[in-house]
């Protein structure tokens, strides 16, 4: 697949990038080489290869969801830096 300079200009415009003519030429050449390499990969026989989402075995490190009892409201609010009645007091950010 050959990429054209017009396609590089279009992608640059979509990405809101201002490229000089030298940068356009360099990117056209680099992207063309990348696409040529990807085309080589398309010719590989992958009939016996099982699809994977990760190369390494991935294990979920999160804990299991379990229903537990939680502390009382007063115990949870005791960690708050500032309270007003039974509400958290935060700095005003809107004028």
CATH class of the region 5-42? mainly alpha
Phi first, then psi: give them for residue 81, nearest 5 degrees.
Answer: -70, -30
At 13-24, the pLDDT tens digits run 999 999 999 999
- Alpha helix (H) ranges present in 1-95? 5-14, 21-42, 73-77
- Banded pLDDT at 6 (limits 50, 70, 90): very high
**10 Å Cβ neighbour count for 8?**
22
At 25-67, the pLDDT tens digits run 999 999 999 999 999 988 989 888 888 888 888 788 888 888 8
């Amino acid at each position: 697949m050959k990429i054209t300079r017009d396609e590089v200009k279009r992608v640059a415009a979509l990405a809101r990038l201002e490229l000089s003519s030298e940068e356009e030429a360099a990117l056209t050449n680099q992207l063309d080489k990348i696409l040529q390499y990807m085309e080589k990969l398309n010719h590989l026989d992958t009939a016996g290869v099982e699809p994977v989402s990760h190369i390494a075995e991935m294990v979920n490190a999160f804990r299991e969801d379990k229903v537990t009892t939680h502390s009382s409201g007063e115990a949870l609010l005791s960690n708050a830096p500032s309270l007003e009645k039974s509400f958290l007091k935060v700095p005003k950010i809107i004028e």
